[in-house]
């Protein structure tokens, strides 16, 4: 599969979605793009997944992605 997937936000839901994609190997690390409001929270992912695309802003995630996830960690009222 050569589709590129983006995940905007790396809270509990973003972590779960990205880890499941990586575990299943449905999407190669090099086709995943992740951003977070706190960049320092995700920069360490490069040591675990060197081919993962760590982005500094949401535009860098959305532009190359065919599908982007915006996981909401808070309950909507």
Contacts of 55 (CB under 8 A, 6+ apart): 33, 34, 35, 61
| Residue 76 included in any domain | no
Question: For the chain, what is the domain count?
Answer: 1
**Angstrom distance (rounded) from CA 45 to CA 62:** 19
| Residue 75 included in any domain | no
| Residue 60 included in any domain | yes
Q: How high is the pLDDT of residue 73?
A: 63
- Determine the structural domain holding residue 44 and report its residue range: 5-69
| Residue 77 included in any domain | no
Q: How high is the pLDDT of residue 7?
A: 96
DSSP state of 76: P
Tens of pLDDT along the chain (77 residues) come to 578 999 999 998 999 999 999 899 889 999 999 999 999 999 999 999 999 999 999 999 999 999 999 987 666 55
Its pTM stands at 0.88
| Residue 46 included in any domain | yes
CA angle 71, 22, 32 (to 5 degrees): 65
């Amino acid at each position: 599969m050569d589709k590129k997937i983006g995940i905007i936000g790396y809270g509990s839901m973003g972590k779960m979605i990205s880890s499941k994609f990586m575990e299943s190997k449905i999407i190669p690390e090099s086709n995943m793009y992740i951003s977070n409001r706190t960049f320092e929270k995700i920069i360490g992912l490069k040591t675990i997944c060197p081919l993962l695309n760590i982005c500094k802003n949401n535009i860098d995630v959305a532009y190359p992605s065919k599908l982007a996830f915006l996981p909401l960690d808070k309950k909507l009222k």
